[in-house]
């Protein structure tokens, strides 16, 4: 029961914040992809860099749980291409569809239904596709810390790289706000 309440509370807070930055607005998301509005990608990258620093603190304190997904060169790469095409087409990603549907956007309800169809088709094909696409090029649970030898150095590297990305997104996107 505690798990359910924690999940609900976390989801409500997460859904609220992503609505407030405009990520549940598919028009704003399209404008982010078209390099018109920089705020959503800057928000995402900054949130990740800050979270990585926070997680470093949690790990040091021995709190919480982590689970690194493996990198499969073919499956992760192909999946990202398919995902990117869907994200660019609809302007929704799996998390934002729930919040946007809750917000009352009918196009998000259809994205949600399409999502159920896509997940169901993948679940049906799991036994064929995972051995075919995922397993042969599965490189294991690689992390940046494998190269930097320390988690702190890896977080610092991530923060620097993401800061540079945020800087260039601010320069290269047109900085035109709007309501999509």
Partner 1 sequence: MQQSSEHSAYWKWIPASFALAGIIVFIFATFGPPASSSGFVSTLKGFFQVVAPGYAASKTHYQIIPGPGSWLFAFVVGMAIGGFVAGRTFPVPTRDVPRIWEQRFGSSRRRRYAATFAGGFLILFGARLAGGCTLGLFISGSTQLAISGLYFGVLIFAFAMITARLVYGPVRKETIE
The tokens for 114 are: 């399409």
- At residue 88, φ and ψ (nearest 5 deg) are -65, -35
Smallest gap, in angstroms, from Cβ of residue 33 to partner 1? 4
Interaction residues for partner 1, span 26-45 (CB under 8 A): 26-27, 30-31, 33-36, 38-44
Distance CA 161, CA 129 (A): 34
Interaction residues for partner 1, span 49-108 (CB under 8 A): 50-52, 54-55, 57-58, 63-72, 75-108
Distance CA 52, CA 28 (A): 26
CA gyration radius for the chain?
18
Smallest gap, in angstroms, from Cβ of residue 26 to partner 1? 5
**Size of interface with partner 1, in residues (CB under 8 A):** 128
Please tell me whether residue 3 binds partner 1 under the rule CB under 8 A. Answer: yes
Interaction residues for partner 1, span 110-169 (CB under 8 A): 110-124, 126-127, 129-130, 133-134, 139, 141-145, 151, 154-155, 158
Smallest gap, in angstroms, from Cβ of residue 164 to partner 1? 14
Smallest gap, in angstroms, from Cβ of residue 64 to partner 1? 4
Calculate the CA 6 to chain-centre distance.
20
Q: Which residues, 6+ apart, have CB-to-CB distance to 101 below 8 Å?
A: 108, 109, 111, 112
């Amino acid at each position: 029961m505690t798990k359910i309440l924690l999940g609900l509370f976390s989801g409500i807070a997460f859904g609220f914040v992503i609505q407030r930055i405009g990520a549940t607005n598919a028009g704003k998301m399209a404008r982010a992809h078209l390099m018109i509005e920089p705020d959503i990608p800057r928000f995402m990258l900054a949130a990740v860099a800050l979270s990585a620093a926070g997680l470093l603190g949690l790990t040091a304190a021995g709190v919480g749980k982590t689970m690194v997904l493996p990198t499969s060169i073919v499956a992760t790469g192909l999946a990202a291409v398919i995902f990117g095409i869907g994200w660019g087409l609809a302007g929704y990603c799996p998390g934002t569809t729930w919040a946007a549907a809750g917000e009352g956007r009918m196009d998000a309800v259809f994205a949600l239904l399409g999502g159920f169809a896509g997940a169901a088709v993948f679940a049906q094909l799991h036994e064929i596709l995972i051995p075919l696409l995922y397993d042969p090029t599965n490189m294991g649970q690689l992390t940046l810390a494998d190269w930097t030898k320390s988690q702190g150095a890896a977080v610092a590297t991530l923060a620097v790289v993401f800061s540079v990305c945020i800087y260039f997104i601010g320069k290269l996107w047109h900085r035109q706000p709007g309501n999509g």
